[in-house]
Amino acid sequence: MSDLYKKTLSEVAVKLQSGELKAVEAVRNCLDRIEATESRVKALITVTGDEALALAEAMDSQGPDANKPLWGVPIVLKDLLATKGVRTTCASKILDNFVPFYDATAVSKLREAGAIIIGKANMDEFAMGSSTENSAFFQTGNPWDTDRVPGGSSGGSGATVAAGQCYAALGTDTGGSIRLPASFCGIVGLKPTYGRVSRFGMIAYGSSLDQIGPMTRSVADAARMLQVLAGHDPKDSTSVDVDVPDYLAALGRENLDGVTIGLPEEYWGEGLDAEVEEACKAAVAKMEALGAKTVQVKLSLTDYAIATYYIIAMAEASSNLSRFDGVRFGHRNKDASELIDMYTSSRTEGFGDEVQRRIIMGTYVLSSGYYDAYYNKAAKVRRLLREDFDKAFEQCDLIAGPVCPTTAFKAGEKADPLQMYLMDIFTISANLAGLPGMSLPVGLGKDSGMPVGLQFMGPAFCEADMLSVTECLERNLDPMPMAEL
């Protein structure tokens, strides 16, 4: 089964449930793939191989469980999800040796569904970045070209799936951090509606923006993962108590008759690379051939989204990261003679440049005299952005456009922070509005040879419809190859 790593999660799950494949075989195959590729990709901060094998052996001794849809499937987690007894670093020196005593709710749900956790993925420190170059430990390479970035901040999660090291990974998306690496790495990435998946046990960056979601090699795999993850959690005050539909039952539609796709003119204009535009427009034409109707819609406040997002996100980061003070957990400077020196030196040594930059900016916009000038205005624009989407969805079922203006860029190419922030221009609005978003691979750029993702956004809690449409399109596009490592 040397090509087992090329299978999708759904294919492997069927083999495991039938007994054709043992859990130990699935885990060993992934660990072998990690050993063969990790020196080039560098996707994982922690590999829990021994623990995963021991669990797989115990599961095999009992046999498959039809009530556990992910029974025996090896999965990787972004390293900001709390894992009981396993180091959780946020790719930061300040949490280098932090070992939680509990699992995040999303992790507990995966375990209850039979998944086997085999590692924790690299990321931009505290999820702050778009390239995974901000990790305190090492840079992750894109499996399609390891000189290029995998996107961020869930770059390790995207790269580990694209490299065949696991069958799915969890990422988090604050402003595009699932969708961007999914696009750059040629996989499926789904950001659910805010509140659809519990955030309990996720180390927060922007509490009103963060959402956990799956990163997989097919839409069906994303549906299978979301079926496990979705649902109300009383431990999370932002979790919404609404019914969870059968996402897998929504798949398999024959065509897109009756579906209207909105194309925002702001996403298809100046600044979009020709190869990205060509691949995305070809996918839109395929949807039309399948019966979908396309209409032009306006998201007139898109130009203000970057400024709005970074004011709100950095303000929330400033507040959330104040807990890392060297007192209760994390890195502490033991040479400090006074309390204020300990605070200052511990945080200076523990946080990287980008995290410090965002904390300072966030503290500034929340400070006396500037709150109304910046944060309060950003909150008002955020409400108007949501109204923009509401008006657009009066004309269409889903909105489609590029995930990013470019394909994956070379590491070190965007040293200017503002250039990096602009990578999120098409993705951040969904987070500000709390709406679901998804990246579907639709081909390779003709010039770069790198993957291109088409983004879908929809009304709140429309994930079933989104999965239905994208799975139909996926079946009718040329199959996305795997990266050759």
pLDDT at 419: 85
Is the per-residue pLDDT at 264 higher than 90? yes
pLDDT at 228: 98
pLDDT at 330: 86
Contacts of 116 (CB under 8 A, 6+ apart): 23, 26, 27, 52, 55, 56, 59, 72, 73, 74, 75
Q: Is 438 left (phi over 0), alpha (psi -120 to 50) or beta?
A: beta
Q: What mean pLDDT is predicted for residues 307-325? A: 95
474 to each of 140, 220, 468, how far by Cα in Å?
A: 27, 10, 10
pLDDT at 329: 83
**Pairing between β-strand 169-172 and β-strand 74-78 as defined by DSSP bridges:** parallel
Q: Assign 416 a pLDDT band (cuts: 50, 70, 90).
A: confident
CATH class of 4-254+437-476: alpha beta
Domain map (residue ranges) of the chain? 4-254+437-476
Lowest mean per-residue pLDDT among 32-36, 129-133, 196-200, 341-345: 341-345
Model pLDDT for residues 390-407, shown as the tens digit of each residue = 999 999 999 999 999 999
273 to each of 2, 67, 267, 313, 445, how far by Cα in Å?
A: 38, 46, 12, 27, 9
Model pLDDT for residues 345-366, shown as the tens digit of each residue = 999 999 999 999 999 999 999 9
Distance CA 228, CA 110 (A): 7
Average pLDDT value over all residues in the chain? 96
Enumerate the active-site residues.
78, 153, 177
Distance CA 176, CA 184 (A): 12
Structure tokens at 106: 């999303």
215 near 161, Cβ under 8 Å?
yes
Is the per-residue pLDDT at 233 higher than 80? yes
